[in-house]
Amino acid sequence: MIRILLIIMICVFLSVSYGQDEVKKSIYTFDITKFVLPTLNNVGSMNGTPFTVVTTNYIHYPRLTFGYTRSINEKLNLGIDLGYGNKLLSLYEINKDYQLIEFRPKVNYLFGVKKKSYFGLELFHVYNQDVFYNSNYRSSSFKKYSFEKANFKRNKSGLMIKYGHYYTVFKSFGFNFYGGVGLQKTTYSYSNVTKPLESIIEYDRHGYKNYIDEGSFYFAEFTLGVKLFFISK
C-alpha cells in the first residue's frame, strides 16, 4: 500500500510539467468537515470475526487537511490530500498526546457542464497515536483488560470511490461537496500497558462495546463532507 501511495504521489508532481501546450489548472482545498465534525467509529467486532457492522459510536479525529489537484487533460486530474492533527488543532477536548497523519492520493474523472462534477478513485492511509488513561481494551486473545495507562496506535488503509461537485461562489473560489464509499483495513494496537487487570467484557444496551479491540479488522468506509477550494492556472 505504501509503495502504491508513493507512486501516485510521484505521478501528481510529474503531471505538473506534462503537456505544456495545454491549459492546466491547479485546485487547492481545505477540508472543513474533518476539522469540525466527529467521525463514525468502528470499535471492532463483538464476536471476533474480521468483518464488522457499522456502529453508532462517534469519536473526533481532528485534523487540518489540505489538498492539491492538478489537471492532466480536460477530463482527468491527479491530486493528494495531506492531513495532520494534534490537541492544539482540535475544537474539542481531547488527549494531549493525540497525533494524526493522513495521506490520500487520488485520480478524478471530470464530467458535466463545465466539468464541475467528478467521479474519483482514492487510496488512503491514516495513522494516529494517543495515550489512554484509566481505560480498558480487549486483546488479540479476546481477553479484556483494564489499565492505568497505555499507548494506543491506529493504522487505517483502504480504497474509496467518490463523487463530488464544485460549486463556484466567485470566479476561482467555492465549495467542493463530496461523498464516497469503499473498504478499509484498520489495525489497533496497545503497548506499554501499565497495571493491566483482566476484567469482564461488557456491552451497552444496544450491544456495542465501550472500548476498542486490539487487532486488525475490515470495515466499510463511508464519507460525506465539504471542502473550500481555490483554482489557479
Here the CATH number for the domain that contains residue 18 is 2.40.160
Q: Cα separation of 210 and 56, whole Å? A: 11
Q: How confident is the model at residue 66 (pLDDT cuts 50, 70, 90)?
A: very high
**Residue 64, number of CB atoms within 10 A of its CB:** 16
Cα radius of gyration rounded to whole Å, the chain: 20
Q: Report CA-CA distances (Å) from 144 to 46, 196, 199, 225.
A: 12, 10, 6, 35
Other CB atoms closer than 10 Å to residue 198's CB: what's the count?
A: 9
Pick the range with the lowest mean pLDDT from 5-9, 62-66, 101-105: 5-9
pTM above 0.85, yes or no: no
39 falls in which pLDDT band (50, 70, 90)?
A: low
Domain range for 90 is 2-232
d(CA 144, CA 172): 54
The count of structural domains within the chain is 1
